[in-house]
Amino acid sequence: MERFEKEKILSDVHFAAKRLLGSYFVRIIGGRKLIGKIVETEIYHENDPASHSCNGRTKRTGVMFGPPGFSYIYLVYGMYHCFNIVCGKRGEGSAILIRALEPVKGINIMKKYRNTSDVGNLTNGPGKLCQALHLTRRENDMDLLNKKSPVYLKFNDQIPKDNIVNVTRIGISKAKDRKYRFYIKDNNFISIK
């Protein structure tokens, strides 16, 4: 897939949240390759009270207003990180939070980073997957559409609509009623059923 095609997919955050399900997230670290399949996503955008971008561009959220396909990683609760894929056209503050991955490759390394041997508990949450893939603010603002990046996306075929569940988001206090969360039906690595 050409770069412009990927950018086009990501330029619509509502479409991308569904389209990215089933695609692969690749993390190169220490010469090793860790791979997870995206199984759960959430939409955040500038007309959304729950989004960091809702009050416009700041030092932290500037990345969200940049071109689609870059990483937006921030620290939450003082100790965990959350990984997002910047979406929307340049100048639009939107992103997709990756809430869960299905471990595909490098599982033993993920276990070390997570300090557990339970495969089902490696990447089933936004903070957990950042630990498993060792994603921190050092990996903020990286080009996810470039295979030379230490973090990048590998697009896969679209998941059939019938296999996608659409519900409200998790762990927020504002705009709780918006159905901005998507996950692959019957997948074992969803953060919360």
Q: Report, in Å, the least distance between residue 93 CB and DNA.
A: 9
Minimum Å gap between C-beta 16 and DNA is 13
Rounded Cα distance between 61 and 94, Å, is 10
CB 181 within 8 A of CB 166: yes
Tokens 């089902």 -> residue? 120
Q: How far apart are CA 191 and CA 61, in angstroms?
A: 25
Q: Are the C-beta atoms of 179 and 112 separated by less than 8 Å?
A: no
* Residue number with CB closer to DNA (4 or 58): 58
For the CB of residue 181, give the shortest distance to DNA in the complex, in Å: 11
* Farthest-apart Cα atoms in the chain, separation: 43
| For DNA, the closer CB: 60 or 89 | 60
Is the Cβ of residue 74 or residue 155 nearer to DNA in the bound state? Answer: 74
Min dist. Cβ of residue 42 to DNA (A):
6
User: Which residues lie near DNA (CB under 7 A)?
Assistant: 42, 44, 50-53, 55, 58-61, 64, 72, 74-80, 82, 84, 95, 97, 114, 116, 121, 125-129, 170-174, 191
* Shorter beta-carbon distance to DNA: residue 4 or 77: 77
CA–CA dist 78, 35 (Å, integer): 26
